[in-house]
Structures are given as C-alpha cells and as structure tokens.
Structure 1
Amino acid sequence: MTFIRPFEREAVSEIILFPQGNAAKVARTMDTEQDAKMKIMRPLMDCQMGKYYGESLSNPKVLVGK
C-alpha cells in the first residue's frame, strides 16, 4: 500500500483466509515503519483503516468477482 497523505509512506498489507466449513474467517494485517509523526496519527489511521476494512469485507462475493 502506498499512502500519499498526510505523510508519504509505504506499508505491506495481507489478507489471510482461514477456512471454516462452508465459510471463511478473514484477517487483515498492515505493517509499516512509524516515526513520531505517524505515532501521533495512529489512532486516526486505525479508525479510518478499520472503516475501510469493514466496508471492503461487507460483501466479499463482490470482491472475489473482480
């Protein structure tokens, strides 16, 4: 992932699927280095990324079809 605002930064993100019968449990990770500015922004980023992850997983059949 490449972030442009508020600070230019790159991160490695993974989507991990854990099969559970006819369904799957989904886990997402994001790994990036954080300096002092990023640590201050962390709570806001966690909130925004949580919303994004939730929205993107609300209908996984749409994502799989793309």
Structure 2
Amino acid sequence: MEDLLYALLGNREAARSIVAETGGDLRRLAGMEVDDLTVLPGIGEGAAAKIAALFEIVTRIIRGQR
C-alpha cells in the first residue's frame, strides 16, 4: 500500500505515515476524515484532499454514479 500512496501523493513520508496509522488497512483509511489525516507527518491539506477525492471516486464507481 505504501507504494500506491507514494504514487498518488508523491511524498514517501506521507505514505509511510498513513501506512503506520492504518496498519496498512484501506478500510481504516477510508474512514478517516481530512482533519484526521492532516495531523500525520507529511500530510497537508492537499494530500488529505487527494485521498478524500480518491475514495469519493471509488464510492461513485461502486454506486454506478457519474
């Protein structure tokens, strides 16, 4: 998961912080709010917004929305 987060965010520290916080469990990451993410090392508002947008896109795909 760290490599995928690094590819998305372009920040190795941010990717490692997220993996450490979630134990590598994407379900835990999906349940985190932007404010929860921004307190992690390497995660600013931009990175947190990218993650939130990614999960919104996935949610819409699953629901068949446009």
Give me the TM-score of the superposition, normalised by structure 2: 0.45
* Structure number having the greater strand percentage: 1
* Structure number having the greater helix percentage: 2
* Bigger relative CO (Cα 8 Å, ≥ 6 apart): 2
Give me the TM-score of the superposition, normalised by structure 1: 0.45
**Of the two, which has the highest radius of gyration?**
1
